Amino acid sequence: MSDNLDSVSPPETVPDRSIRQWLRDNRIDEIEAVIPDMTGIARGKLIPAHKYSEEIGMRLPEAIFLQTVTGE
């Protein structure tokens, strides 16, 4: 397997307009982003659907990857 990233093609994207329309058509009010931390506990956030396309991406705090089971 090669480490050459130049040959990796970018993922297909959908225009923001299509995403916003799909969210409206399906009456979706919130978008939930969840990722497991190092111990397998789900961490993430909810955002209102109308803010999803207004943001430049959807960022999660990097600290969620460093938290212990107790949240420390």
Nearest-10 Cα torsion for 34, 11, 59, 57:
-130
Q: What is the pLDDT of residue 71?
A: 65
CA distances from 50 to 44, 53, 62, 70 (A): 18, 7, 24, 33
pLDDT per residue as tens digits for the range 29-51:
998 888 887 778 888 888 888 87
Q: What is the pLDDT of residue 29?
A: 92
